[in-house]
Amino acid sequence: MFTGIVEEVGEVADIRQSDDVVVLTVRGHRVADVAHGDSIAVNGCCLTAVDPERTGAADGLIRLELVPETLKRTSLGNVTAGSTVNLERAVPAGGRLDGHIVQGHVDGIATLVSREPGERSDELRFSLPAELSRYVVEKGSIAVDGVSLTVAAVYPDGFGVALIPTTLADTTLGVRRPGDTVNLEVDVIAKYVERMTAGYLHDRAQSATDGPGAGSGQEGAGR
The tens digit of pLDDT for each residue in 8-52 reads 999 999 999 877 899 999 999 999 888 889 999 999 999 999 976
Total residues found in the chain within this entry: 223
Mean of pLDDT over the chain: 88
Q: Where does the pLDDT of residue 202 fall: very low under 50, low under 70, confident under 90, or very high at 90 and above?
A: low
Residue at 195 is within a domain: no
Q: What is the pLDDT of residue 87?
A: 98
Q: Which of 146, 104, 149, 185 is CA-nearest to residue 9?
A: 146
Q: What is the pLDDT of residue 221?
A: 47
Residues 184 and 118 in one domain: yes
Q: Which of 89, 121, 136 is the last residue of a domain?
A: 89
Measure CA of the first residue to CA of the last residue in the chain; give whole Å.
60
Given a cut of 50, is residue 223 above it in pLDDT?
Answer: no
Residues 117 and 183 in one domain: yes
Residues 62 and 124 in one domain: no
What domain range includes position 149? 108-190
Residue at 119 is within a domain: yes
Predicted confidence (pLDDT) per residue in 157-189, tens digit: 999 999 999 999 999 999 999 999 999 999 999
Beta strands in the chain (DSSP E): 8-17, 22-27, 39-42, 45-49, 61-66, 84-89, 108-117, 122-127, 141-144, 147-150, 153-155, 158-163, 181-186
Q: Which of 115, 108, 145, 183 is CA-nearest to residue 10?
A: 145
- The whole-angstrom separation of Cα 67 and Cα 74 is 11
Q: What is the pLDDT of residue 19?
A: 78
Residues 112 and 84 in one domain: no
Q: What is the pLDDT of residue 161?
A: 98
- The whole-angstrom separation of Cα 2 and Cα 34 is 15
Residue at 210 is within a domain: no
Residues 138 and 179 in one domain: yes
Residue at 222 is within a domain: no
Q: What is the pLDDT of residue 58?
A: 60
